[in-house]
Structure 1
Amino acid sequence: MHFKLHAKLIGLCAGLLISTGLQAQMVELDRVVAIVDNDVIMASQVEERVNSVRAQLSQGGSRELPPTEEIRKQVMDRLILESIQLQMGERAGIQIDDASLNQTMQQLAERNGVTLEQFRAALERDGISYSQAREQVRREMIINRVRQRRVAERIQVSDQEVRNFLNSEMGRYQTSADYRLAMIVLPVSETASNEQARRQAEMAEQIHRELQEGADFTRLAVSRSGGEHALEGGELGWRKAAQLPPEFANAVDRLEIGGITPPLRSPVGFHILKLLDKRGGDNLLVDEFNVRHILIKPSEIRSEAEAAQLIQRLYERISNGESFETLARSFSEDPGTALNGGSLDWITADAMVPEFRDTMLSTPKGTVSAPFQSQFGWHILQVLDQREVDMTDEMREQQARNMLQNRKFDEELQSWLQEIRDEAYIEIKS
């Protein structure tokens, strides 16, 4: 089996950039094509990326590729921006530890539907060494952290913006319930006689009775449905409530997971729907956690390693009996929680960044986590309590706020990238 992962990796990674260690490996005929602040871009880097982009476009099915010079110009612009951001990350002391990098490589393999060993072998078959791929991913992770720190802090979403979005047609659609459905269809053509329609209605009622008596929905869909998804057991995947005809949406909304509707008439026939899963919508019960934390951030005067050492010392002091609350007030660099002893009050897992969420979920109530790193810096946290609450309205508001923040992030990112390019020293060599 040959896995075509080269193009996918290019899409996920920024690409292999110049570093001091690599310069010594450059062949003598290589040359500098651009100076970017304290970094240089080599001709070999540009050509390597150009070839990768051409391969990606070819594998993507593009019949006519853009002229090579146009690709080369785009590649040069991309490498310049990447260089600027990587230098910003270096000055801020941002580093990616091996544990985080290994976890990301594992996730990339899983996303491609292969094991890590298969992923490694496929990369090498496509001419990419695993160590080179790791460096590509490491650089992309650094760039992402730089962007989160520098761009996210420029974004504000007001409560009024959230309310306006929730009241808009798009907002109601985006925050409505999602249903994972399967469907059995008994078609009735426009030219069918009343007798033919009646027989299909009777057949739909018979299938519905069999399902109520315990017959397998998938088997009946494969053998008796006339819908295009019959061979998939009738499964339609996820659908927004707003995507369904009103009668279908109303019927599905009344179902428990695993339930089936009675036969429903539409202009094209009779339909029986099964609710396989549901997310969002009304009566959303979620787990909340009462958590406090201490945040230590790398900065211009504190390296990543020094931040890690400080959070470790604070963890040891708490383990030896010192007050978490007192140390949070004295040391935490989260301005929103430090004065409250690090308290985040009641929060949901989905509201937190992945590293914080995963640590919080795996930390028993009343205990303090080991130090861990997120895009914001180094943390330790303590789970004080846990409860289940109806968070329908709150979750809709948070979902809306996240959507607005993501939209503003994309817009602000382009503005920020232009700013940092304008501020950098860039010299293009002929």
Structure 2
Amino acid sequence: MDRIFRILPLLLALLPLAALAQDDASPRQPIDEIVAVVDEEVILRSELEAAITGVVRQVEARGERLPPRSVLEEQVLERLIMNQVQIQRAEQTGIRMSDQDVDRALGDLARQNGLTLTQLRAAIEGDGLSFDEFRQEIRSELTTQALRRRIVDGMDEITDTEIDIMLASDNFRGDEYKLSQILIQVPESAGPDELDEAAARADEAYRELQDGLEFASAAIAYSDAPDALEGGDVGWRNLNALPRQIADVIRDLEPGQYTEPLRIQSGFIIARVDDRRAQREVIVTEYRMRHLMVRPSELLPAEEARELIESLHDRLEAGEDFGEIAREFSDDQGSANLGGMIDWFPEGAYGTGFQNVIDSLAIGQMSEVFQSPQGWHVIRLEDQREADRTVESMRNEAREMIIRQKADDEIERVLRRMRSEAYVDIRL
């Protein structure tokens, strides 16, 4: 389920790591003016300025044109408001992120950028930012992600019938599209005046695009979507993951082309095709092996466990039956009763360490004793094949598409309701 969400680098949309290493000669002078009140919390001018600085760096790094300052302030403030709304709702429903959760996220973030935690902290503080505040932003991002997961977890399960319907559609076997969007949202209870205003705003964005404004810049200036400050980047989508009225238009577009404003349930959208690619066959390498494991325990210290499996390895080399030894001695509960047999599994299913051993073996060859965090092991490669897993892959892809589409719609609906129910006083 987590794969339908954008995970780490987390809040780098506001504090891009590439920019953290840059020198910032301008002194930071925090101004404690309140720019918005969200229920019982406030957003300060200094918070808004810091967020705007991060967005400006990100946009400039992409080589895109910034919108007017007033538009940028409005967009960034709305993101901060929505973030605050989500955090408050999450905390009200018992979602809390521990220090260990934050530490793990920071470790992942550092590794993704080829840094140690010490180097990450030095990069952040070297730019004049507070590492404690950065930790708090990470905690906030983890909290909002957990809230969104809870929203998705509350949806109905995807049925096989839904998957079959999607697989049978014309769009599913077609190309995949990398998309960007400009979304002009309207409230669920919008009246004619609000609809007209949103339509006019969408038309204005469209005219700006026709006059040469870059799509990413237009998204920053006009879009109400959460991805607006990232230039409206949606990512790769199959047509079936899109509303029908969008898919029918997108199908005929080439990379670089965009739609006219389209009326959809949540408002008006302009979608651009950034790239497209054909679906590919999925051919995977699969293996069969016999497995013998001895796990250290309180009754069997690590050294004795190693000595036991080495003695069993000697017996196997002497010709004793692998299956009988596995049934009697193996601590792998999943395969011991099957004589250690683990039937067809894909490459990498048991981790890099196991795969490296498997790759070193010829069919019928037995490994030396090797160790993993679970214990000591001996394996024998029984067989290997190339298997066409396109059908399984397509079913999994169809399931993920349905989940993503339903999740996007449900998250958007719930967040819009949360935003409308929250007390928000904007004081810009």
Under a length normalisation based on structure 1, what TM-score does the superposition of the two structures give?
0.43
Under a length normalisation based on structure 2, what TM-score does the superposition of the two structures give?
0.43
